[in-house]
Structure 1
Amino acid sequence: MNDTPACPHPAAPESAPELFTWEFATDPYPAYAWLREHRPVHRTALPSGVEAWLVTRYGDARQALADTRLSKDPANHAGSAAAKGKTGIPGERKAELMTHLLNIDPPDHTRLRRLVSKAFTPRRVAEFAPRVQELTDRLIDGFVEKGEADLIHDFAFPLPIYAICDLLGVPREDQDDFRDWAGMMIRHGGGPRGGVARSVKKMRGYLAELIHRKRENPGDDLISGLIRASDHGEHLTENEAAAMAFILLFAGFETTVNLIGNGTYALLRHPEQRARLEESLAAGESALLATGIEELLRFDGPVELATWRYATEALTLGGQEIAAGDPVLVVLAAADRDPERFTDPDTLDLSRSDNQHLGYGHGIHYCLGAPLARLEGQAAVATLLKRLPGLRLAAEPADLRWRGGLIMRGLRTLPVEFEPGRRLGEGDTLSPL
């Protein structure tokens, strides 16, 4: 099909919606619905000035995510040096953190993913569950007696930071520094790239020092495992080890912040679904929690656009010709609301069973940390609903602000109120999933 409108100046209902405004950030789904119907593969100028193709239909998105002609390597971007500097994570190039899973293709991608995937096996993630629950309850203890909280700042943000730091092997005394750097990355995510780049530089310096310390005194953690692999002939350079640790932190925390934040917000806006889940949890059931987290990922997921891809040759996608070197961005948020794939896609249904959403991607770049993110999401949502009775928004939805930025979708704050409770004592059993 040809995505060019029938006339050069279409009538108002057919005119393309304005993208990437603050109004769009609040609710991008009507604009994505228009694009799916009228311009499913759409070339647009991004806020940075870089032009890219947006892929919005589920079928096209799934194809693009697995298409080997779409490279993750920024070297395949045909744009100018200035344009290339406006893609990817700010500061990663200068900090020599480019050789990570989001920027490379096979065979290097295959080699590095195999090394790090050992940390995310079902067994390793299951072993980590008690620590996630401990962190969840400890954070809730920090505000449960007050009857109010900002669930982003007080809960959704620190939980995955501390969890991924534990997994990487960052000492407890250093984890607050990581929290500060990650906070700067989130706060500056929608603004000038320099703010993020400064945090990346600080993190890079710390990782170099930590890798040196782990080489001297290895432990049972991910960074030590990467070092052992390189020492046993896996050809992992110091830059690769640092880049891998960096991207696991960078990609691993903000996605989970947004899963918890967006998911809790959706439940508070859909009281009938929230009540169903509360009743299920009170009955000691886990099935609705599991399907519910998948539905929250589909309905308003943490990753709005998949990370950058570049056409290595001229190709056709969704009937649209794409030139070699052109950037392509798969709009996961649009694909996961496609009525051609999902029944009643704009309806939140926690028991939805046919739910092959793309919230964590598809193909060889499928999110490596998805099992851990699901564990954290389930622990967070279940424990919030159990320990904070009467949980409700403490602000009008129209007054909430969403963070700017291209790839991630998440709230800046989520103020809530609830019936004050008590902290867990030493003899208390941690809240079960």
Structure 2
Amino acid sequence: MDLADDLMTRPYDVYRGLRATSPVHRITGTDGQPAWLVTRFDDVRAALADPRLSLDKTHAREGSYRGLSLPPALDANLLNMDPPDHTRLRRLVGRAFTQRRVDQLRSPIRATADQLLDDLGEHGTTDLIASYTAPLPITVICDLLGVPASHRRDFRDWTGALIAPDPARPQAAKEAIAAMLAFFTELMAHKRREPADDLLSDLIAVRDTEGDRLTEDELMSLAFLILFAGYENTVQLIGNAVLALLQNPDQMALVRQEPSRIPAVVEECARYEGPALLAIRRFPTQDVTIGGVRVPAGETVLLSLAAANRDPDRFPDPDRLDFDRDTAGHLALGHGIHYCLGAPLARAETEIAVAALLERFEGLEFTEEEPRWRPSLRARGLLDLPVRYRGTRPSS
């Protein structure tokens, strides 16, 4: 079943039909290789935590869909690892994303959001992705890692080329990978010469003094993943939340009146229009049965977070945005040992971004231009979000 194009252009319609007919489907991936697609909430949740479903590509059978191919210096990351290596690396960076650490970042995150909104002026039109929802997370994650401002401007173009390759430029993804490899090589050298009080300097110190805990490829790959995922997932989460509010003005008015609802807003928007359509691909280390369907060892399993989060057996009337809904257990940020490491930070940034936007703009609406989605099988994010705004109040 070749569904790649339809899944990129109208994912929820396709997932609704697939979910209703069978819990697991044999499909063709974007590289023309076969994979198994899992669509129902209970099956996806169980599979996310199943240790028999490996992220390590060495378990992949020849001819199965493997997803993005990266050079070794960027590929030795948490999205390709199982325990014990996964446990070791996650422990090294986990302290940077604890709730306590994130709470300490709330004030600088709000200051960044206010400055971006100040720069927009009192009224006019703007692409909110370019002017607000993209600059905020790239600033936050780069500050956390210690990436100089001068190195940030090309990062969105590079990540975009990897997530949504342009068919007219087949070499763009390879060029982006080469550019990112050069970027991180230079960044590591800079941090070794001039260490600072940041996460990347801390990781380099671990590598250089305790090499048995972190290889050079793991160090480079960790930096790549933290920057890539910390930026991409969050810009999509913020942008999708703002879009959902604009599409539901009655709900947006309610949140303006009761800003204490914003944490619930973020959770429901994550369920309704999360940052990822699919979890990272997995490879069974033995034959497994998912939803009554036998999947042979080594074949590729794709777990649809988007389909699971709109499963009516778990979330009644799932295609309706409802801020009073019980969203507990939604899968937008994963489940199990591979649950998103940066989830507390992504939630905080989205809460702050939405709150600041609604406080500052009394009027916020679509322009005549339609927002455009990235053409991606895995990510769910906007290319742009053209809006008209008015009534900006100065930041306090």
* Structure 1 residue 176, shift from structure 2 partner: 2.4
Q: In 1, Cα distance between the equivalents of 2:99 and 2:363?
A: 34
Q: Is the 8 A contact 1:268 1:274 kept in 2?
A: yes
Alpha carbons of 1:221 and 1:109: their partners in 2 closer, same or farther (altered >3 Å)? Answer: same
Residue aligning to 1:57? 40
Residue aligning to 2:50? 67
Q: Secondary structure at the match of 1:176?
A: coil
Residue aligning to 2:27? 44
Alpha carbons of 1:26 and 1:280: their partners in 2 closer, same or farther (altered >3 Å)? Answer: farther
* Structure 1 residue 125, shift from structure 2 partner: 0.9
Q: Which runs of 5+ in 1 are unaligned?
A: 1-15
Query: Which residue identity is paired with 1:392?
Result: E
Residue aligning to 1:19? 3
Residue correspondence of structure 1 range 200-239 to structure 2 within 5 A: 200-233=177-210, 234-239=212-217
Q: Secondary structure at the match of 2:79?
A: coil
Query: Which residue identity is paired with 1:274?
Result: M
Alpha carbons of 1:190 and 1:236: their partners in 2 closer, same or farther (altered >3 Å)? Answer: farther
Provide TM-score, normalisation by structure 2.
Answer: 0.94
Percent identity (aligned): 46
Alpha carbons of 1:269 and 1:176: their partners in 2 closer, same or farther (altered >3 Å)? Answer: same
Q: Deviations over 1:131-163 (max 9, x none)?
A: 211221122222233421111121112211111
Residue aligning to 1:101? 78
Query: Which residue identity is paired with 2:268?
Result: E
Residue correspondence of structure 1 range 334-353 to structure 2 within 5 A: 334-353=307-326
Q: Secondary structure at the match of 1:356?
A: coil
Residue aligning to 1:89? 68
Q: Is the 8 A contact 1:191 1:404 kept in 2?
A: no
* Structure 1 residue 235, shift from structure 2 partner: 2.4
Q: Deviations over 1:373-418 (max 9, x none)?
A: 001111111111111111011136xx43211122101122111102
Query: Which residue identity is paired with 2:274?
Result: G
Alpha carbons of 1:402 and 1:253: their partners in 2 closer, same or farther (altered >3 Å)? Answer: same
Q: In 1, Cα distance between the equivalents of 2:112 and 2:164?
A: 23
Q: 1:159 aligns with which of 136, 141, 144?
A: 136
Residue aligning to 1:278? 256
Alpha carbons of 1:204 and 1:137: their partners in 2 closer, same or farther (altered >3 Å)? Answer: same
Q: Which runs of 5+ in 2 are unaligned?
A: none
Q: Is the 8 A contact 1:295 1:349 kept in 2?
A: yes
Q: Secondary structure at the match of 1:224?
A: helix
Alpha carbons of 1:248 and 1:357: their partners in 2 closer, same or farther (altered >3 Å)? Answer: same
Q: Deviations over 1:342-368 (max 9, x none)?
A: 122122111223431000000000000
Query: Which residue identity is paired with 2:340?
Result: C
Q: In 1, Cα distance between the equivalents of 2:150 and 2:18?
A: 48
Do structure 1's residue 405 and structure 2's residue 383 form an aligned pair? no
Q: Deviations over 1:51-82 (max 9, x none)?
A: 111110000001110111111011111124xx
Query: Which residue identity is paired with 1:110?
Result: T
Query: Which residue identity is paired with 1:69?
Result: R
Q: In 2, Cα distance between the equivalents of 1:252 and 1:193?
A: 26
* Structure 1 residue 341, shift from structure 2 partner: 1.0
Residue aligning to 1:395? 368
Q: In 2, Cα distance between the equivalents of 1:349 and 1:191?
A: 40
Q: Deviations over 1:213-269 (max 9, x none)?
A: 222332221111111222342521221111001011111111111111111111111
Q: Is the 8 A contact 1:391 1:419 kept in 2?
A: yes
Q: 1:120 aligns with which of 87, 97, 117?
A: 97
RMSD of Structure 2 on Structure 1 (CA) = 2.1
Q: Deviations over 1:280-338 (max 9, x none)?
A: 12xxxx3x111110000000111110011111111111100001110001000000011
Q: In 2, Cα distance between the equivalents of 1:75 and 1:350?
A: 43
* Structure 1 residue 126, shift from structure 2 partner: 1.2
Do structure 1's residue 245 and structure 2's residue 216 form an aligned pair? no
Residue aligning to 1:300? 273
Q: In 2, Cα distance between the equivalents of 1:193 and 1:295?
A: 36
Residue correspondence of structure 1 range 353-364 to structure 2 within 5 A: 353-364=326-337
Q: Deviations over 1:27-62 (max 9, x none)?
A: 321221221121211110123201111110000001
Q: Secondary structure at the match of 1:149?
A: strand
Q: Secondary structure at the match of 1:102?
A: helix
Q: 1:419 aligns with which of 382, 390, 396?
A: 390
Q: 1:320 aligns with which of 269, 272, 293?
A: 293
Alpha carbons of 1:97 and 1:110: their partners in 2 closer, same or farther (altered >3 Å)? Answer: same
Do structure 1's residue 77 and structure 2's residue 60 form an aligned pair? yes
Q: Is the 8 A contact 2:137 2:235 kept in 1?
A: yes
Q: Is the 8 A contact 2:163 2:379 kept in 1?
A: no
Q: Is the 8 A contact 1:394 1:415 kept in 2?
A: yes
Do structure 1's residue 371 and structure 2's residue 344 form an aligned pair? yes
Q: In 2, Cα distance between the equivalents of 1:21 and 1:213?
A: 42
Alpha carbons of 1:140 and 1:44: their partners in 2 closer, same or farther (altered >3 Å)? Answer: same
Q: Is the 8 A contact 1:258 1:409 kept in 2?
A: yes
Q: Is the 8 A contact 2:244 2:269 kept in 1?
A: yes
Provide TM-score, normalisation by structure 1.
Answer: 0.86
